[in-house]
Amino acid sequence: MTTDLRQSDPPATAGAPEGAGAPTDTVARIVRISGQMIELRLEGPAPRAQELFVGLDDPELRIEIASFPAEDLARGLVLSAGAPVRLGARLRGTGQGLQVPVGRDTLGRMLDLFGTAIDGGAPLDAAPRRSIFNAPPALKHRRTQSEIFETGIKAIDLLCPIERGGKAGLFGGAGVGKTVLIAEMIYNMSGAYDGVSLFCGIGERSREAEEFHREMAEAGVLDNTVMVFGQMNERPAVRFRVGHAAMSIAEHFRDELNTDVLVLIDNIYRFVQAGAEVSGLLGQLPSRVGYQPSLGTEIAELEERICSTASGALTSIQAVYVPADDFTDPAATHVFGHLSSSIVLSRKRAAQGLYPAVDPLESASKMLTPTTASARHVKVARAVRRTLAEYESLKDVIAMLGLEQLSVEDRRTVAIARRLERFLTQPFRATERFTTAKGRRVPLNQTLEGCEQILSGAFNDRPERALFMIGSITDAEAAT
């Protein structure tokens, strides 16, 4: 039963904005404009890095301080999209960095980086606010107990299970199904997950944001979901900060409201891209493959905030675009190091119509060990992976000589492997309106039972299509 999260916030967090500082006497005047980088002449005490400055004549003009080239000069990045920027304009320091509204008032809402509601609803003026820049919990406060987080997606739960309180990455190029998988996870977990889902869209298309909000409302899961967007048409500084804003909202639910949080990020590569744009605006020399020199640090600052404490579990599933399907790209390799599960999506499998296009040989999870998963789970997963690996090694022989030239044992392996590939496909609720096939959520024990039967050869006398796009193995038995 899902906890009712629409209660009043604790009094301790309902007062003044958390981390708020009094406005400073620092006034600045714009003396140089270089694209989206602004140079300010300071009048008063020097501000801190990441402090927010707002226009005196136009409060919609927002600039975040980034560096100090001289004692009385500061460089900042424009955050506001519509406000005009002109030489000589005067701004005042706020004494603090960016803050976002947090708490139960944000449930069911769609917000931007500044906490402004972009869903047409009422503003969140009464909600407590929290700085988007927070240090991760100390190591002694983190919870390290490992537990599998079921998604109801057969290929993921079997071969690369996700850790509750851990980080999982969906790696793949364009068009292989990363966003669809994330949407399906929200659908599947909304009924069984006793907590809050937070979706962070970084560099997403406006169309996708609107569709996602509408679909969540139609599915009845919007009331326990918070959505934060820094869309594709926004300034790079906005896209670079929106991930931190989403993490502040998630941390409040975890630390103050003792609630488990599922954070879904689409797409972490857009965060890296925004960082590269910001680096270029500030005149930093590019590093390997043109990325910013601080790539590893910037990814770590975001990823290390995703952790569990005694107050609650914070689980993250992140889509990671892989440029040109090159998994040696620095952005992909830096993200790999922070994850407990790596779900690799294959373009070859997508071209064959095997959805979800999870590559069973490239995907991996640290949870698939005897100390965490059941002995049955480990045994079945190893047998499935071994069978599929043997089939992969036989494909060249089959292409050159034909299936008839294989030994009886190899032909049996091929028959089992092809049926396993089709059994690991699954109709999704997120794609029902396109395929007309009813989405299915499959518990792990039913996935294991189906794989055991296929591995035993029990389905070798039945057509492969009987196992394609079904839920549990009982669907294939009923069809035949």
Burial (0-12, 13-18, 19+ Cβ within 10 Å), 406? middle
Distance CA 345, CA 173 (A): 8
Q: Give, rounded to a whole angstrom, the gap between the first and last alpha carbons of the chain.
A: 36
365 Cβ contact list (under 8 Å, min separation 6): 159, 160, 161, 162, 163, 168, 340, 341, 342
Provide φ and ψ at 129, rounded to 5°: -120, 155
Burial (0-12, 13-18, 19+ Cβ within 10 Å), 195? buried
H/E element, 384: helix 375-401
Is the distance from CB of 182 to CB of 320 less than 8 angstroms?
no
Distance CA 462, CA 316 (A): 39
- Write the DSSP string, 348-367: HHHHTT-SS-B-TTT-EETT
Is the distance from CB of 385 to CB of 159 less than 8 angstroms?
yes
User: Which residue in this structure is represented by tokens 């989403």?
Assistant: 246
Read off the tokens for 406: 């294989």
Rounded to 10 degrees, the C-alpha dihedral 28/31/32/37 comes to: 0
Whole-angstrom CA distances from 80 to 155, 204, 316, 338 are 43, 18, 29, 32
Q: What is the residue type of 456?
A: S
User: Which residue in this structure is represented by tokens 């496909």?
Assistant: 425
- Write the DSSP string, 26-40: -EEEEEEEETTEEEE
Beta bridge partners of 314: 261
Compute how many other C-beta atoms are within 10 angstroms of the C-beta atom of residue 46.
Answer: 16
Distance CA 375, CA 149 (A): 17
> In degrees, to the nearest 5, what angle opens at C-alpha 261 toward C-alphas 106 and 166?
150
Positions marked active-site: 178, 204-205
Is the distance from CB of 103 to CB of 13 less than 8 angstroms?
yes
User: 125: closest CA among 111, 138, 139, 142?
Assistant: 111
